[in-house]
């Protein structure tokens, strides 16, 4: 399990297939919410600059996997419906993440499918919530595709560009991946802090 969370291990041992499966599961399948989506694509882009992968092929795989993963999540939500909110948390399911995604979706609307693509903590659950809420499929497909394309292109290119411009960048891959993970979680932490402050202010005004 530890190796499956290591982006470089996934890339070097499983190639494009490993990238596709990881992104698909992490994009809309409940059991995949803990997988390294952003760091995997960044590392893959960086390794593409070292000729381990083809950048164009990587982008195509990433975009297709992201869109299909979210689509699977959408139809999962339509099937599960309200039972999703009454299901108990387990090792592979977090009720807290579902609730956070629901709030995020209600606040941001359809564009949440684009925004959530860049936020690991809610990326897996927002398309499921869209299905639960019976979001029109045409609208879902539009925003899902837009988010998948933007994310699937930008993150690998960022890694590729850094790999081409910084000498021996592959030696610092692990610290960079840790930094990306920290930055990815930052919006969620800021939102949590904001909600806590808002709740505290409401309590003080009572």
Distance CA 118, CA 187 (A): 10
**pLDDT confidence of residue 38:** 84
The residue whose two tokens read 């639960």 is: 132
**pLDDT confidence of residue 65:** 96
Radius of gyration of the chain from Cα atoms? 18
Backbone φ and ψ of 86, nearest 5°: -110, -5
pLDDT digits (tens, 9 = 90+) for 64-106: 999 999 999 999 888 887 677 677 765 556 677 677 777 777 7
Distance CA 123, CA 26 (A): 8
In the chain, what are the domain boundaries? 3-200
Average pLDDT (138-145) is 93
73 with 27: CB under 8 angstroms? yes
């Amino acid at each position: 399990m530890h190796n499956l969370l290591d982006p470089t291990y996934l890339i070097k041992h499983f190639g494009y297939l490993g990238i596709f499966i990881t992104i698909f599961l992490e994009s809309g399948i409940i059991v995949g919410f803990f997988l390294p989506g952003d760091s995997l694509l960044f590392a893959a882009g960086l390794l593409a600059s070292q000729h381990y992968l083809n950048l164009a092929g990587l982008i195509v795989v990433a975009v297709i996997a992201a869109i299909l993963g979210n689509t699977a999540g959408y139809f999962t939500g339509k099937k599960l419906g309200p039972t999703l909110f009454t299901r108990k948390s387990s090792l592979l399911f977090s009720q807290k993440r579902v609730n956070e995604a629901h709030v995020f979706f209600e606040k941001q609307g359809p564009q949440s499918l684009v925004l959530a693509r860049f936020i690991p903590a809610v990326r897996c659950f927002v398309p499921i919530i869209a299905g639960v809420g019976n979001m029109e499929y045409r609208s879902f497909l539009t925003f899902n595709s837009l988010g998948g394309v933007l994310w699937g292109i930008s993150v690998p290119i960022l890694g590729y560009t850094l790999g081409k411009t910084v000498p021996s960048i592959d030696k610092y891959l692990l610290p960079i991946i840790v930094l990306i993970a920290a930055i990815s979680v930052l919006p969620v932490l800021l939102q949590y802090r904001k909600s806590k402050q808002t709740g505290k202010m409401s309590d003080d005004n009572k």
